[in-house]
Every structure is written in C-alpha cells, then in structure tokens.
C-alpha cells in the first residue's frame, strides 16, 4: 500500500467512539476525577454535583457506571482518594434507595476479593473492603437490612485478622454499626456472630470496648445471666477480673503514648464502674495498685488523665445518689 493510500485511509476513517456511558460529556466523567482529589471541599462538591446529575438525567447506564467507578475507587492506589469514593458511594446509596445494599456489598466483595487479588494489590483490596463497609454504613440504610448488617460484620471480622495494615479500624467500624442498629437486630442477627469477639473481651482494648458498646446499647439482651454465659461472670468489674482489666488498661496506655489522649475504652470502663457500683474496687485495684505500680510512663499518664475525667463523673454520681436518698 502506498503512502498516499495510507494517508487517505487515515483521513477518511471514522473516529473510534467509546461505547455506552463514555460518549457522555466530560462533565459527568469529571465528577469521578474530582472525588479522588485531596481537597475535601472539591470532593464534597463533586459528590453533591454527581448526585444532582444522576437525579436529573435518570439514566440507568450512568447509574451503573457510577457504582462501578465508586466501588473500584474504594481501593484506589492513592490513600487520600479512598475516603472520597467511600463517601460518594454512601451518599449515592442514600439518594437511590431502590438500589439493593446486598447487591452493592456483593459487588464490593467480588471486586476486592482477597482470595484472588494480586499480591501487590492485596493491601489496597483490604482497604477497598473496609471503605466499602464504611460506605454502606454511611448510607444510613443498614439498620433496615439485617442480612447486610450481618454480611458487613462478617467481612469486618475477616479484615480484623490483618492488624499489620488495618490496625483496629475493622473493630471500630463494628462499634459504629452497633451504635446504629436497633436491639432486635443485635439480638436476632449479630449476637451469635459476635460471640467469639465478646467472649474475648479481656484480650485487647478493642475487644473490651466492643463489649462495652454492646452493653451500653443493648442492656436488655446482655443481661447478667447472658454475661455469665459469655464471660463466666455476671459483671465486668469484679475482683476476679481486675488482673485482666489491668493488663488491658496497660495495653491501652501503650497504644496512645504518642497521641497523649485518654482512650475511649478506659473512659467507658470508668463509667461502667460507677453504674455497677464498683468504682472503689476499680480505682483502688486497677489504677492505684495496678497502673500506678508501673514504672513512670504511659500507664501513669493514663491514670492522671483518667483522674481528670473521674472527678466530675464521681461528683455527678454522688449528687444523683443524694438526690435519690441513697
């Protein structure tokens, strides 16, 4: 073929046009670029505009493409982009309630399957699953779909084994879910699924806080008789448990030695001691004879921070007792 013929064929050939949704204007596609940007204001505006666009145009292929892009973006190689895609997915699910949460959860697990993903993308896939569950939670629809709640918790349980990458994020996400669901969903769906975690409450600060959150949220389900079955005791703070609680407090102190904050699990434990009328036992044995017997360091700092929180709470408790005539 001559050069002239090649040039003629190039000039006369029809340009290749992308199929489907990619034929749309750049405005729609640019939303996804902006969602991945590090600037929070840009991300929020892009999410808002994307939802408005989808509602206005009402195109099934665009909505399908949106879910594909957002689920893919949950495992973005740039860490700053993942929260943007997670937020966008949650908001889109909130806006389009006819889209099944189960279908999106299935899509997340399929796309970010830890069994089939390439080794170099394994860490990204873990975060893809985590941010996917966060998106489902942020949609505000989880409490209405118990089976999806169960699916999310099971996925988080599998992720919690990967502490070297995700640390305590899966357990914290479980706590967020517990704070949203009604007691009947916990009793009927999650109690048996979380039994292993609840039985191991004295193993780590995260496990203990999971139990404390469940106790606070679902007191009718986790009555003393049920606690006895789970833990071998009907109360959390008692003489037998003090050594185990002290070790958990030491772990909590070491975990925040750089942040210089009071871990929420410690404050929750303090509040529980007041509720169970076991504050004196807790303070004298776990704090004075426990943490303060350690060499000066994180355990001491935690004790002093806890003292600052304990004083107003103890005062409130004393006033309440006086008011009730106790």
C-beta separation of 12 from 30 below 8 A: no
Q: Kindly state the helix (H) or strand (E) to which residue 131 belongs, with its residue range.
A: helix 122-138
216 pLDDT band (50/70/90 cuts)? very high
Neighbouring C-beta atoms of residue 265, cutoff 10 Å: 23
- Residue 48 CA to residue 52 CA, distance in Å, equals 6
State the Cα–Cα distance between residues 192 and 201, nearest whole angstrom: 15
User: What does the pLDDT read at residue 321?
Assistant: 53
Cβ-contact 99, 93 below 8 angstroms = yes
Contacts of 117 (CB under 8 A, 6+ apart): 125
* Three-state SS at 312: helix
Which tokens is 68 given? Answer: 């594909």
Straight-line distance from the first to the last Cα atom of the chain, in angstroms, rounded to the nearest whole number: 103
Give a three-class secondary structure readout of 19-40: CHHHHCCHHHHHHHHHHCCCCH
Give CA angle at 213 (211, 218), nearest 5°: 95
Burial category of 285 from C-beta neighbours within 10 Å (exposed 0-12, middle 13-18, buried 19 and up): middle
pLDDT single digits (tens) 138-156: 999 999 999 999 999 999 9
What does the alpha-carbon distance between residue 144 and residue 94 come to, in Å, rounded to a whole number?
A: 12
Residues in the chain: 326
| pLDDT tens sequence across 57-104 | 888 899 999 999 999 999 998 888 999 999 999 999 999 999 999 999
More confident residue, 1 or 277: 277
What is the signed CA dihedral for 229, 179, 100, 52, rounded to 10 degrees?
Answer: -170
Q: What pLDDT score was predicted for residue 113? A: 95
Handedness of CA 82, 88, 90, 93 (dihedral sign): negative
- Tokens for 153, please give them: 């918790």
Q: H or E segment at 84?
A: helix 82-95
Confidence at residue 42, expressed as pLDDT on a 0 to 100 scale: 94
Helix (H) or strand (E) segment spanning residue 54: helix 40-57
pLDDT digit string, tens, across residues 262-278: 999 999 999 999 988 99
Longest pairwise C-alpha distance within the chain: 106
pLDDT at site 24 = 54
Task: List the Cα angle 219/232/292 in 5-degree steps.
Answer: 85
- 228 and 234 in contact (C-beta within 8 Å)? yes
Give the pLDDT confidence of 15-47 residue by residue, as tens digits: 333 444 555 578 899 999 999 999 999 999 999
* Alpha-carbon distance values, 252 to 150, 213, 242, 276 (Å): 28, 16, 15, 22
Q: Is the pLDDT of residue 257 over 80?
A: no
């Amino acid at each position: 073929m001559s050069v002239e013929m090649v040039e003629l064929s190039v000039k006369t050939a029809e340009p290749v046009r992308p199929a489907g949704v990619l034929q749309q204007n750049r405005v729609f596609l640019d939303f996804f670029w902006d969602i991945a940007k590090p600037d929070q204001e840009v991300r929020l505006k892009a999410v808002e505009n994307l939802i408005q666009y989808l509602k206005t145009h009402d195109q099934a292929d665009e909505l399908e493409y949106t879910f594909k892009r957002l689920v893919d973006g949950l495992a973005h190689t740039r860490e700053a982009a993942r929260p943007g895609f997670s937020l966008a997915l949650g908001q889109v699910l909130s806006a389009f309630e006819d889209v099944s949460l189960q279908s999106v959860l299935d899509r997340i697990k399929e796309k970010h399957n830890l069994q089939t993903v390439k080794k170099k993308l394994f860490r990204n896939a873990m975060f893809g699953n985590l941010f996917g569950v966060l998106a489902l939670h942020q949609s505000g629809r989880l409490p209405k779909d118990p089976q999806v709640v169960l699916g999310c918790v099971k996925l988080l349980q599998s992720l919690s084994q990967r502490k070297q990458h995700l640390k305590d994020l899966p357990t914290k996400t479980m706590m967020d879910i517990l704070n949203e669901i009604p007691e009947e969903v916990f009793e009927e769906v999650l109690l048996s699924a979380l039994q292993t975690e609840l039985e191991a409450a004295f193993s780590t600060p995260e496990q203990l806080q999971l139990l404390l959150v469940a106790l606070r949220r679902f007191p009718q389900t986790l009555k003393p008789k049920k606690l006895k079955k789970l833990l071998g005791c009907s109360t959390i703070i008692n003489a037998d448990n003090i050594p185990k609680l002290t070790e958990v407090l030491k772990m909590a102190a070491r975990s925040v030695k750089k942040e210089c904050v009071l871990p929420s699990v410690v404050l929750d434990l303090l509040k529980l001691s007041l509720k169970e009328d076991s504050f004196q036992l807790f303070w004298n044995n776990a704090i004075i004879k426990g943490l303060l017997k350690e060499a000066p360091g994180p355990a001491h700092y935690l004790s002093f921070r806890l003292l600052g929180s304990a004083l107003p709470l103890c005062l409130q408790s004393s006033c309440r007792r006086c008011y009730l005539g106790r």
